[in-house]
Each structure stands twice: as C-alpha cells, then as structure tokens.
Amino acid sequence: MSPKPSVLFVCVHNAGRSQIAAGYLSHLAGDTIEVRSAGSAPANSTNPVVVEAMREEGIDLADQRPKILTTDAVESSDVVITMGCGDVCPVFPGKRYLNWELDDPAGQGLEAVRPIRDEIQRRVEELIAEVLRDE
C-alpha cells in the first residue's frame, strides 16, 4: 500500500489563503490526504477575519499558527500549491506545482473574505478529486 498523497499550500504569510485551503482540505478529505501549509515570510498569527470566515463553515482554525516554508516540506509533498509566494518556493523534479491566483484576505473585512474562502473551497474540492483519482 502506497503512502497517502500529500499537499502543501504556500502563501507569503501563511495567515490567510493557505490556512483556508489547508483547513478545507483537512475537513473535506479527512485522513486520506496529508495536509501541510507554510509561508515564505510567516505572520505572527492567523488572520482573525479568516478564522471567523472559516468558523462560519464549521472549521476551526483558531489553533493554527503560521509556519515557515522549508525545503523539507516541499520535498516531502506530492503537490505544492502556491498562492502568491513568487519565486521563493524551491522546485524539485517529480513534484506537481500549481499556482492559484487569489485575492489576499489581508486587511479585508468578512464580506470581502467570504468570496475568497468560497473560491478556495471550490478549488480544494477539485483538487481532492484529482489527487485521489491519481492514486
């Protein structure tokens, strides 16, 4: 039996988009996919508006802390999804890289964050179908 697939979500601060994506992937895929998230310049805490927006979805991100992007995290992931981290993400052969162009929730109110959250949910649902199909 092969190890379960792993996905790494990367954004600059690991406080918004990547936390939303990791939250949805963990919630929707359960333990079928290993989930990681990190940032190239992590913030001190997860964006409180993001935490609130995800709480509306029944997903609690209050205990999540931004993490620094490491070479090991990239190397040990099957799929790496960047969300505005630019060229700082190391590239390894054999990995699948996707770039999701999404608005940044930083400095936005709840009304502006909800559509970002909803778009990330849509993309995560598609990703789950693709990753599990490829297994």
| Interval 56-96: pLDDT, tens | 999 999 999 999 999 899 999 999 999 976 656 677 778 89
pLDDT at 134: 76
Work out how many domains the chain is built from and give that number: 1
Establish if 25 belongs to a structural domain.
yes
Return the active site residues: 11, 85, 89
Establish if 121 belongs to a structural domain.
yes
> In sequence order, what DSSP letters do the residues of 33-100 get, joined into one string?
SEEEEEESS--SS--HHHHHHHHTTT---TT----B--HHHHHT-SEEEESS-GGGS---TT-EEEE-
Could you tell me the residue range of the domain that residue 119 belongs to? 6-134
Give the containing element (helix H, strand E) for 35.
strand 34-39
Is pTM beyond 0.85? Reply is yes
- CA–CA separation, 114 and 110 (whole Å): 6
Phi, psi (rounded to 5 degrees) for 23 = -60, -45
Establish if 128 belongs to a structural domain.
yes
- CA–CA separation, 51 and 105 (whole Å): 11
Which of these, 40, 35, 50, lies nearest to 127 by C-alpha position? 35
What digits encode the pLDDT tens for the residues 5-14? 999 999 989 9
Q: What is the CATH number of the domain that holds 26?
A: 3.40.50.2300
Establish if 51 belongs to a structural domain.
yes
Establish if 1 belongs to a structural domain.
no
